[in-house]
Structure 1
Amino acid sequence: MRTAFQEELKPELTLTIGGKSFSIPGGQITHLAVRLASHGFTASVTFWTSMEKKDSPLFTAFQKPDLVQVRLAVAAVDPALDTPPAPLVVQGLARSRRLIAEPHGKDKKSERVFRRYTFEFADAAQVLWRQHRPVELHTDMSMQEVLEAHKASILLSYDWAALRQKQEMLCLAVGADAPGVSFYDFVLWYVHTHNGVFAYDTQKSEYLLADSKPSGTAAPIDRLQVAHVETKLPPPIRHGTRVLNALANGPTTTPIAQPQAVTGVSHDVLLRNPITSQAEQRQKLEKTRLQVRQRQLHLSFKDFPSVPVHPGALVRMEGSLWPAPLTGLDEDHRVLELELEAHAESEGQHDNQQTLQAQYQMTMSARLESASEPLVTLPLFRAPHYPIHVEALVHSPGGEPQDRRYLIVEDEKTSLAWFRMTVPLWNQTVSVPAEPTHFPGQFFFPPYKNTRVLVALHFAHAEFDRFLDWKEGVRTPQDGQGDQILLGWNKSSQTAFTHDFQEDKPVWRMLRTNGGDTQIVRMKEGNLFIQVKESQSGAAPTPTYDVSPQVEAAKGDLTTAVGGAVGETSAAYQGAMASVRAKMKSAQAEAKAALTGARTEVGAKVAEAKSGLQGATSRLSQGVSELGSAAEQAKAALEKLR
């Protein structure tokens, strides 16, 4: 429920278009509406201007497609306050703009044109990032570095260790082939999936990415400025969670209980991760998502508040004017949302021209959450679509470009093996699991150097999808309808197994070549041919030893080991910090509960003492009355004796 009230406001509006700044007197603003949330805002403002010339600077700038920066500050005019609170400020970018022109006066020579401008604007991240749809691959970068590369003119601050951790790969998949998904959705999705905080500071026009909500000091709300207080109870969670790790060797199912869950109702999370520490991190993440959201309060104001009530600000309902049984009394609350709308009482074109303030009919309400609420409220978003598929070349150092060499990097700590794939589009090399892929386990055909392959890129890992072409020399002429397998490094050092048809009869042959040394075994209709031949002209060159594969493998092992150690250290640090914060919040909650209980007990004893004192006073008054009555009777008796 909202309550309308009259208020004298002093709005300040500044427009910056194409580098030029325009200040609009507050009295010319006829309507403004602002909806602030913890993650950003949307707003609109309408004002009249009186223009003597049709080519005025604002009118000329308005017609250009330049970016429009809007700054709106709203303050109440209250002479009773010695130190009025800071005005409510929103700074953003225009999303749409409208213009209506109306003439005033009958004489064409003295015609005066009034123009009504309307700007709808929002915070910079909503305007810019919703139109930003990059597709990129990064390696050995942190998420903070990725955000810095895409922030444009947006102000960002960080207080989150996970953002600073270097990742082996990070893939952004929010291009045109993912309908409806933008970089703004990607950031919200990342914050949600990693249990972080995305908060917007409207006073600084700055965004904070953190692992927990910021704290501060709560300001008291004046009871006389609030019309209604409603308690909102979010719906409880009725499901538990099971984390399923679908490994053939050692599958696990980890149930995560939740007090309000109905038996048999579960949200299952499916993994296939052989690294125990990573599976345990996912279990901890899912456990935090099962926290039950606390109740919220909805305040409707009947006067412009004298303390800051922008999202993120801490407020407190305290004092004797508030009802004693009020939910949330004497508790710190965080402002979650604020809605404000004001209509000027004088909306004519020539009213309040060039004045700085005006009278408005307005409504104002706020939604509060407990200051100890750990859960984050985010706007609706679309999850990015993974994986995306790109072409890559198998990476294997050493030898000549056409050599058929392979490289397997093994992680000694996890016993996992990896192939390396270079993605030419971004000139980045990623690791994919060294698995049989499309062959059964009894075949060992690792992908050779520079082979064209298709790679599936997820957000933080890659997978080998399939091969895209044949190696040089492996295809046989179509006339023979043959099949062939080439094993070995190159043409001068290999073994070929070929089966084809000659004169419609099957022929099988094996050819081993090593420089000038060749061996041939050929079988065809009624014939077996075996030949061993050594050609002096093709004698093998002096052997050399290329240690590039070993060096590359060692580098891969070291990178994996260091990355794993850093990841575990970061995870341990984050876990420890989360535990410390949880204990601190628990201690604060217990202290607040104890303080509230003590206040209640003291209040009860004070009330009891007041009641006893009132009873004693009543009895004393009754005794005095009786004594006065007895004195009157004695006096009357004495009068009779006379």
Structure 2
Amino acid sequence: MSFVDRVKIGLVLKLGSEEVTIPAGNIKRVSVAAHGHGFSATVEWWMVSQQDASEDKLFAHFIKQEPAEVSLTLARAHAAEGITAEPLVLPGRVTGRRVRERAFKDVKDGPVLHRRYQVRFADAVTVLWGQHFPSGIWVEQSLQEVFKAQAPPGVKLAFQWEGTEAKQPLHALGLGAEGNTASFLDFVHWLQARENAGLFFSPATGEYALRDKKPEGGKPVPLPRRDVATVEVVLPEPGRAQVSVLNSYVEAGTRKKELENAVKVEGVKHEYLLTSPLEGDLTQRATVEGKRHHPAEPELRVRFKRYPSMTLALNGLYEFAAGWSTKLYTQGKQYRLYGLFIEARAKSADAATDLGDADNVYELDVKASLELASDATFRRPAFRAPRWPFLAEGLVVSEVGEDAERTYQAKQDDKTSLEYYRVKLPLWEEKEVLMPYEPHQQPGHFYFPADKGTRVLLAFDFRAVRLERFLAWRPGAKLPKESQGNHLLLGKKPESETSIQHVYQDAKPLMRIQRTSDKDTQLIEVAEGRLKMLVTQKK
């Protein structure tokens, strides 16, 4: 449902050191899709040179590749009686540019006197985090520290998300790994979907808040009846699954926890599977899943019949007060604005019409999506899930013995009593991560811990790491290829070790066991037709 109204629109372009203001009279088309977490927009306008092409000061800067910032302002041309309204201001960064030139044959040398410009832009986080693909490791740091390390210059982050405060043993991001298509922005929405949180953008302050509860919104603004064409109530269908959390850990005290769902259908299940030796992990996951699967409350779709006369504020609260029927479903309820969609086309598309005017007559379509203020359901855009695990190399650390000794060490966690290897990561400033002290690919009756300096390939999940495989032979373990042999090398160093070899000499098998301890050497050698035992001591 479209309508015609006079609107005051302003566009400010900042291209490097140059700042250009475009008035409403020049602007012929505006398209805005704003959400609680950010926005995207497109604006088209004419620049007209009356006598000489050099009058267009914008073009030389517009075609450069330097970053461009934009601020779009929309407001009614005439304030409604009794209502004080603030304009809608959307600050952002350019994501696309176009320009169409019009030359005139009847003018000498056909100079370009008309140019129709177009910019596509979005809020700063959508633009910059959407192109951000970091790969990094954070040890004993909070999620807040991870986010702040990724904040572009000028972007303000606020946190009302309890889960981001505690320090974690590990945060790992491999968004630059081959095969990953998820950006840091995708990661943020993925993580918040998993942990039941949301991202909220305030255009007025330019602040982004990461929250585990919806913003309060302040005092609700009355929605004028004379502005509205239709109000539609949308009733979301609740989930019908029996939600459960399962723990496959063999020695788990609790293997399954079911969550309440009064409207479930028998036989329909949503089972979240984890494997953890910690009982608290299952309890914590069950709490989060209970919030994630809480049914959404009814919401509204509002279409306007004139440009709204009240302040339009993303994540702001609104109510249906004076002028509305007391019998309507919306009466007595407060709603939060989480979606705003504006399409505006100038009644006159001619380049020379209304030039320089502060307002213009547009054919408009304005729609809003509102949710109940009590609705705890988080809304977010579609996103790509980041790819885990990703692989990176490290070196096993041990402080036992001397530097040259191939010792091993297990570090015990004071809180959980679990044991871990320490692994150093040369790529990330020699940071150390904790890898489970487990048999890994070996059967349990083999006890061969990874020793100091062992080069290993690690598989990183978001908050965990495991051994993928070993990458190099131990010094002294590799045999000449001609021997076609096998070798088991045990011990700390060449002066204190045991070597067990099976090789071929003259195409016949030979087994050799040699123990070395400083100057003492004992050797057992079994070959075709002979058994050799030798004990030596060097002087």
TM-score (ref. length: structure 2): 0.94
Match of 1:315 among 300, 313, 318: 318
Partner of 2:195: 194
Q: Contact 1:78 / 1:84 at 8 angstroms: preserved in 2?
A: no
Match of 1:439 among 442, 445, 449: 442
Structure 1 residues 274-299: Cα deviation after superposition (integer angstroms, max 9, x where no partner) = 01112211111111111001111111
Match of 1:265 among 263, 268, 271: 268
Q: Do structure 1's residue 476 and structure 2's residue 479 form an aligned pair?
A: yes
Partner of 1:623: none
Q: Do structure 1's residue 351 and structure 2's residue 347 form an aligned pair?
A: no
Match of 2:426 among 419, 424, 427: 424
Q: Helix, strand or coil for the counterpart of 1:267? A: strand
Distance 1:142 1:412, change over 3 A: closer
Q: Helix, strand or coil for the counterpart of 1:47? A: strand
Q: Do structure 1's residue 326 and structure 2's residue 328 form an aligned pair?
A: yes
Q: Contact 1:310 / 1:337 at 8 angstroms: preserved in 2?
A: no
Q: Contact 2:522 / 2:534 at 8 angstroms: preserved in 1?
A: yes
Partner of 2:220: 218
Distance 1:403 1:109, change over 3 A: closer
Q: How does 1:131-150 map to 2 (within 5 A)?
A: 131-150=131-150
Percent identity between the aligned chains?
Answer: 34
Partner of 1:48: 46
Q: Helix, strand or coil for the counterpart of 1:8? A: strand
Partner of 1:86: 86
Partner of 1:8: 6
Greater shift, 103-112 or 38-47, is seen at 103-112
Higher relative contact order (CA 8 A, sep 6+): 2
RMSD: 1.9
Greater shift, 391-400 or 235-244, is seen at 391-400
Distance 1:110 1:133, change over 3 A: closer
| CA distance in structure 2 between the aligned counterparts of 1:111 and 1:487, rounded to whole angstroms | 84
Shift of 1:509: 2.6
Runs of 5+ consecutive residues of structure 1 not aligned to the other structure: 537-642
Q: Do structure 1's residue 59 and structure 2's residue 62 form an aligned pair?
A: no
Q: Contact 1:246 / 1:270 at 8 angstroms: preserved in 2?
A: yes
User: Normalized per residue, which structure has more strand?
Assistant: 2
Distance 1:489 1:109, change over 3 A: closer
Q: Do structure 1's residue 460 and structure 2's residue 463 form an aligned pair?
A: yes
Greater shift, 18-27 or 149-158, is seen at 149-158
Distance 1:110 1:501, change over 3 A: closer
For residue 221 of structure 2, what is the amino acid of its counterpart? A
| CA distance in structure 2 between the aligned counterparts of 1:25 and 1:428, rounded to whole angstroms | 54
Shift of 1:181: 1.2
| CA distance in structure 2 between the aligned counterparts of 1:97 and 1:454, rounded to whole angstroms | 44
Q: Contact 1:36 / 1:310 at 8 angstroms: preserved in 2?
A: no
Match of 1:249 among 251, 263, 266: 251
Q: Contact 2:103 / 2:110 at 8 angstroms: preserved in 1?
A: no
Which protein has the larger Cα radius of gyration, Structure 1 or Structure 2?
Answer: 1
Shift of 1:156: 1.8
Runs of 5+ consecutive residues of structure 2 not aligned to the other structure: none
For residue 283 of structure 1, what is the amino acid of its counterpart? A
* 4+ aligned runs moved over 6 Å, structure 1: 109-112
Structure 1 residues 125-144: Cα deviation after superposition (integer angstroms, max 9, x where no partner) = 22221211122222222222
| CA distance in structure 2 between the aligned counterparts of 1:349 and 1:330, rounded to whole angstroms | 48
| CA distance in structure 2 between the aligned counterparts of 1:80 and 1:161, rounded to whole angstroms | 42
| CA distance in structure 2 between the aligned counterparts of 1:63 and 1:80, rounded to whole angstroms | 41
Partner of 1:528: 531
Partner of 1:280: 283
Distance 1:221 1:387, change over 3 A: same
User: Normalized per residue, which structure has more helix?
Assistant: 1
Partner of 2:504: 501
Partner of 2:495: 492
Shift of 1:186: 0.8
Q: Contact 1:104 / 1:114 at 8 angstroms: preserved in 2?
A: no
Q: Helix, strand or coil for the counterpart of 1:235? A: coil
| CA distance in structure 1 between the aligned counterparts of 2:449 and 2:111, rounded to whole angstroms | 84
Shift of 1:412: 4.4
TM-score (ref. length: structure 1): 0.80
Greater shift, 95-104 or 195-204, is seen at 95-104
Structure 1 residues 385-435: Cα deviation after superposition (integer angstroms, max 9, x where no partner) = 000011111111254554211011122442311111112111221111111
Q: Do structure 1's residue 405 and structure 2's residue 404 form an aligned pair?
A: no
| CA distance in structure 1 between the aligned counterparts of 2:349 and 2:273, rounded to whole angstroms | 60
Q: Do structure 1's residue 368 and structure 2's residue 370 form an aligned pair?
A: yes
Partner of 1:209: 210
For residue 419 of structure 1, what is the amino acid of its counterpart? Y
Distance 1:518 1:83, change over 3 A: same
| CA distance in structure 1 between the aligned counterparts of 2:166 and 2:147, rounded to whole angstroms | 13
| CA distance in structure 2 between the aligned counterparts of 1:40 and 1:144, rounded to whole angstroms | 20
Q: Helix, strand or coil for the counterpart of 1:57? A: coil
For residue 149 of structure 1, what is the amino acid of its counterpart? A
Shift of 1:91: 1.0
Partner of 2:185: 184
Partner of 2:158: 157
